[in-house]
Amino acid sequence: MKTTLQIESLALALRRYPIQKNETLQAWDAADEYLIEHVKGLALPPQSRVLILNDGFGALTCWALAQQFKVTAVNDSLLSQQSIEKNLEENDLHGATLLTSLDVLSFDVDIVVAKLPKNNRLLVWQLQQIAQLSDKSPSVVFGAKAKDVHSSTLKLFEKHLGETHTSLAKKKARLIFCEKHIQLDALPNEMTSFDVPEYQLTLSNHANVFSSESLDIAAYLMLKHLPHSDEIKHIIDLGCGNGVLAVQSAKLNPQAKVTAVDESHMAIASARHNLVAHGIDPSRFECRANNCLDEFAENSADLVLCNPPFHQQHAVTDHIAWQMFCDAKRVLEPKGRIVVIGNRHLGYHAKLKRLFGNAQIIASNSKFVIVEASK
Ligand SMILES: C[S@@+](CC[C@H](N)C(=O)[O-])C[C@H]1O[C@@H](n2cnc3c(N)ncnc32)[C@H](O)[C@@H]1O
């Protein structure tokens, strides 16, 4: 796996963080290289104001800082932000401003350089953010795998920002160029909501939240089997998304504190919104943007609920689920338990049994199993 991105005389050391043993994926892709080549060709002067969106691991941010541009990098993913910070440090580059996907972008920009997000709702939100930037028109260029650029994607650019065209494909990557014609005075509310009538839940979702248009079918099954007991004191909803499991378990266990954890800033904001909207007293909950349970104290929770992710950025992976299970074991009190839901084929039962020495299936249907393991 290559860990040096060489652009003429500039060599950037880039890795995906958190570092994993036997990592096989490099920290940049052909779309990053294509974007860099394009911006390099523009010969922008030092101190040009560059807004970078969705930089996966820091390649774009590191390169732009090395050109002495004034760089603001916006991400919804805390893991991407941590990766950008580590790679900047590794390359002795300083001075980028890192913002989250919900921060207000109230500054002037000369160019927007972005990776196309996987989620169209997030894309629309980001196009609206660009449309709301000061009325000087920055150049806007997005990079993506060519197979992810559909005519429907380009229509979103046309609708929310202005005239759009694409480059030729190069190493299976493509650039999208957009002229900003639309100027928004204010940003629309990008939250959407849906009801789960059986449980009297109304769940609101910021643009980049997992299953933001309807309840995930695994979460739906999990709702039926959430533990409740007077003895439960601290519940962690690990990978909380919109906080559906946190809200319902807080309702079922009124004596317990609940911590909702996710690496997406929009998920954390949505979970906080939903806990408040369902009348959970703020003294009873905490919503925390975090990588799994990094920095959580040992023996500090008695129940962990988890509907784990199986993607990081565009890559399918089960290493995050495994990290979540290992972290849960450390953070659970003796006799504390983890309740996990997953697709049958993911083999969580065997994984939890290996880690905890016990695991039992507490419910299942044709697609999913719910497994409980105790410390
Ligand atoms: C399958 S979704 C479950 C969401 C919600 N709990 C539900 O049941 O609908 C998994 C969640 O894990 C989050 N996630 C992914 N990687 C993470 C990490 N390293 N640390 C914390 N959360 C993570 C994702 O952002 C996503 O919201």
Structural domain includes residue 246: yes
Residues with CB under 6 A from ligand 1: 79, 210-211, 216, 219, 239-241, 244-245, 261-264, 267, 291-292, 307, 309, 320
CA of 126 to the centre of ligand 1 (A): 21
Domain boundary among 144, 178, 212: 178
What is the C-alpha end-to-end distance of the chain, expressed in Å? 37
SS3 of 340, please?
strand
SS3 of 324, please?
helix
Domain boundary among 116, 150, 178: 178
Same domain for 89 and 41: yes
Closest Cα partner for 190 from 73, 109, 270, 279? 270
How far, in Å, CA of 164 to CA of 180, rounded?
A: 9
Same domain for 277 and 154: no
Instruction: Count the neighbouring beta carbons within 10 Å of the beta carbon of residue 269.
Output: 23
Q: Which residues contact 310 (CB under 8 A, 6 or more apart)?
A: 316, 317, 318, 320, 321, 346
Bond before 197 cis per omega within 30 degrees: no
Alpha-carbon torsion (175, 79, 318, 366), positive or negative: negative
Same domain for 218 and 162: no
CA of 6 to the centre of ligand 1 (A): 34
Indicate which atom in ligand 1 lies nearest the CA of residue 292: 20
Closest Cα partner for 356 from 345, 332, 364, 305? 332
Q: pLDDT tens digit string along 314-359?
A: 565 688 999 999 999 999 999 999 999 999 989 999 999 999 999 9
CB 83 within 8 Å of CB 27: yes
Burial of 153 (0-12, 13-18, 19+ CB in 10 A): middle
Same domain for 220 and 120: no
CA of 209 to the centre of ligand 1 (A): 9
**Residue 218 above 90 pLDDT?**
yes
Q: Helices 120-132 and 151-160 sit at what angle, rounded to 10 degrees?
A: 30
Indicate which atom in ligand 1 lies nearest the CA of residue 79: 19
How far, in Å, CA of 268 to CA of 79, rounded?
A: 14
Domain boundary among 156, 178, 200: 178
Provide the pLDDT confidence category of residue 22 given band limits of 50, 70 and 90.
confident
Closest Cα partner for 287 from 341, 328, 250, 313? 250
**Range(s) of the domain holding residue 267:** 192-374
Among protein residues, the one with the nearest Cα to ligand 1's atom 19 is 291
Provide the pLDDT confidence category of residue 310 given band limits of 50, 70 and 90.
confident
pLDDT at 129: 97
**Residue 291 above 90 pLDDT?**
yes
Among protein residues, the one with the nearest Cα to ligand 1's atom 17 is 263
The first and second tokens of residue 74, run together, are: 């916006």
Q: pLDDT tens digit string along 183-193?
A: 999 999 999 99
Q: Which residues contact 281 (CB under 8 A, 6 or more apart)?
A: none
CA of 207 to the centre of ligand 1 (A): 14
pLDDT at 249: 98
Percent of the chain with pLDDT over 90: 93
Structural domain includes residue 183: no
Indicate which atom in ligand 1 lies nearest the CA of residue 239: 12
CA of 289 to the centre of ligand 1 (A): 11
Number of domains present in the structure of the chain: 2
CA of 179 to the centre of ligand 1 (A): 35
CATH of the domain at 106: 3.40.50.150
CA of 294 to the centre of ligand 1 (A): 14
Q: pLDDT tens digit string along 27-70?
A: 999 999 999 999 999 999 999 999 999 999 999 999 999 999 99
Q: How many residues appear in the chain?
A: 375
Q: Which of 208, 262, 339 to mutate to test the pocket of ligand 1 (most atoms within 8 A of CB)?
A: 262
**Residue 313 above 70 pLDDT?**
no
How far, in Å, CA of 326 to CA of 25, rounded?
A: 22
CB 212 within 8 Å of CB 121: yes
Mean pLDDT taken over the chain:
96
Q: Which residues lie across from 315 on neighbouring strands?
A: 312
How far, in Å, CA of 159 to CA of 143, rounded?
A: 19
**Residue 108 above 80 pLDDT?**
yes
How far, in Å, CA of 27 to CA of 263, rounded?
A: 18
CB 261 within 8 Å of CB 238: yes
The first and second tokens of residue 240, run together, are: 């909380």
Same domain for 79 and 161: yes
